Chain A
């Protein structure tokens, strides 16, 4: 916050003093809150060595890495499929022919309105009932693909639409065909403008793999519960979830920073006439971040 905020002027001597007092009081409040949490942890023995010692074991570390691998595998497959799904349905929605546009719109709007967990349940419970064996991984991946693919389709569409219309007109004027306009003029500019938004959506997808926990797909969160439920180590749920949470925050945080960096970089770039879609949506699509 280097520039002056909308809400207040640069502080004068009195405001400076008041802000300093508020700063001290609120810092004290925050420290008191953290101290209380720390006290609660210590009081219930969360810092005991036996609750943490299993993280030193190579087998437990391998278990955690296995969970991380399962999470990343689901996220990786789902990301590729969702990008493809998004590309197909975005082009359907952008088509000139209503016969493609209408079903495209219907599918994209429908899958964005259904809770992701319900989509995953479609892949999990329905085959289960008929005795087909479908891998839990695929139930999770299909749900993630349908939901995130629909959101990505909207991002792609917004990206193409963000390229000023003059670009299309110019391209047609020099005799390009529709295919060439899209391939040579619109896409290269649109990709630059939507890259930050795509990366943010992939962070959401990665976070959503944690829903696999509910259908007992052995991903990171599931492994965390197993580690936390071990009686010989005093049921270390708190340490286990803190470790798992730190892993999620590290990975998703790194990707979020990448999205933010891309947004800064693309914002400066002169190689696109389109406005960069923000990594964190503020308009109609704010929901996609949640």
Chain B
């Protein structure tokens, strides 16, 4: 048991650095994928067929590609195109590109949960597009979007570990460093697990709470 705590106290700095980078990676990629995903979602519900087709193609291609492949492409193939980005930036781009496909789907299905009669009635009252969107559709759609959106971001937080395979020092990369230091890996991995549980469980609890609170009878 003493050994178990020693692993953390002896290597505290590495753990702190690793998890700090994980959180940073998560926050930047979350903002990025929210922006890109919303843009794609808007394309998929737009009245312009070309944009809808583009959005659908993007989502279907990305959803059927492993995230690890996106990482590998950015880290090994993109430099060959004379585009030089460092490892951390590559990781955030990979996570953003991948997660935004899922954000897009959440937004699209959220908008589609609102009954068509709602917007029809609003238009019959003479509301403009902006009013229909901000007063009628979005308030209802957002409620349906928030719980699945949180699931997507929880999954993304877990996915940040993949950056470990691509030279980013984040939580998932700690075991490789510890292997060099000869620390007991079981304890190391347990501490990483505990770290992730600390980050994830509050998000899961919040998500379930919101889901119960905002369950709408339709």
Query: Are A290 and B155 in touch, CB under 8 angstroms?
Result: yes
Query: Are B77 and A228 in touch, CB under 8 angstroms?
Result: yes
CA distance A8 to B196 in the complex (A): 43
Q: Which residue of chain A is the closest to B149 with respect to CB atoms?
A: A286
A30: contacting residue among B50, B83, B184, CB under 8 A: B50
Q: Does A273 contact B (CB under 8 A)?
A: no
Query: Are B154 and A287 in touch, CB under 8 angstroms?
Result: yes
Q: Which residue of chain A is the closest to B145 with respect to CB atoms?
A: A282
Q: Which of B112, B133, B151 has the most CB of A within 10 A?
A: B151
CA distance A208 to B65 in the complex (A): 10
B48: contacting residue among A22, A44, A244, A285, CB under 8 A: A22
Q: Does A96 contact B (CB under 8 A)?
A: no
CA distance A161 to B50 in the complex (A): 41
Query: Are B162 and A207 in touch, CB under 8 angstroms?
Result: no
Q: Which of B77, B156, B208 has the most CB of A within 10 A?
A: B77
Q: Which of A41, A126, A235, A282 has the most CB of B within 10 A?
A: A282
Smallest beta-carbon distance B197→chain A, Å: 6
Query: Are B47 and A5 in touch, CB under 8 angstroms?
Result: yes
Query: Are B69 and A26 in touch, CB under 8 angstroms?
Result: no
Query: Are B211 and A122 in touch, CB under 8 angstroms?
Result: no
Q: Does A258 contact B (CB under 8 A)?
A: no
Q: Does B68 contact A (CB under 8 A)?
A: yes
Query: Are B47 and A15 in touch, CB under 8 angstroms?
Result: yes
Q: Which residue of chain B is the closest to A211 with respect to CB atoms?
A: B68
Query: Are A221 and B72 in touch, CB under 8 angstroms?
Result: yes
Query: Count of A residues near B, CB < 8 Å?
Result: 68
Q: Does B179 contact A (CB under 8 A)?
A: yes
Given A6-B137, A7-B111, A117-B161, A245–B65 Cβ distance below 8 Å? yes
Q: Does A237 contact B (CB under 8 A)?
A: yes
CA distance A7 to B109 in the complex (A): 13
Query: Are A129 and B184 in touch, CB under 8 angstroms?
Result: yes
Query: Are A249 and B61 in touch, CB under 8 angstroms?
Result: yes
CA distance A235 to B80 in the complex (A): 8
A280: contacting residue among B105, B115, B154, CB under 8 A: B105
Given A11-B47, A44-B80, A228-B76, A117–B196 Cβ distance below 8 Å? no
> Which A residues are CB-close (under 8 A) to B52?
1
> Which B residues are CB-close (under 8 A) to A211?
66, 68, 162, 165
Smallest beta-carbon distance A132→chain B, Å: 12
CA distance A99 to B146 in the complex (A): 34
Query: Are A213 and B81 in touch, CB under 8 angstroms?
Result: no
Query: Are A283 and B66 in touch, CB under 8 angstroms?
Result: no
CA distance A241 to B80 in the complex (A): 12
Given A248-B66, A282-B148, A26–B48 Cβ distance below 8 Å? yes
CA distance A221 to B112 in the complex (A): 36
B152: contacting residue among A5, A7, A286, CB under 8 A: A286
Query: Are B148 and A283 in touch, CB under 8 angstroms?
Result: yes
Given A30-B54, A284-B147, A115–B111 Cβ distance below 8 Å? no
Q: Does A225 contact B (CB under 8 A)?
A: yes
Q: Does A269 contact B (CB under 8 A)?
A: no
Q: Does B35 contact A (CB under 8 A)?
A: no
Closest 10 pairs between A and B when the two form their complex, measured CB to CB? A214-B165, A210-B66, A290-B155, A286-B148, A287-B151, A252-B64, A115-B158, A210-B68, A286-B151, A125-B185
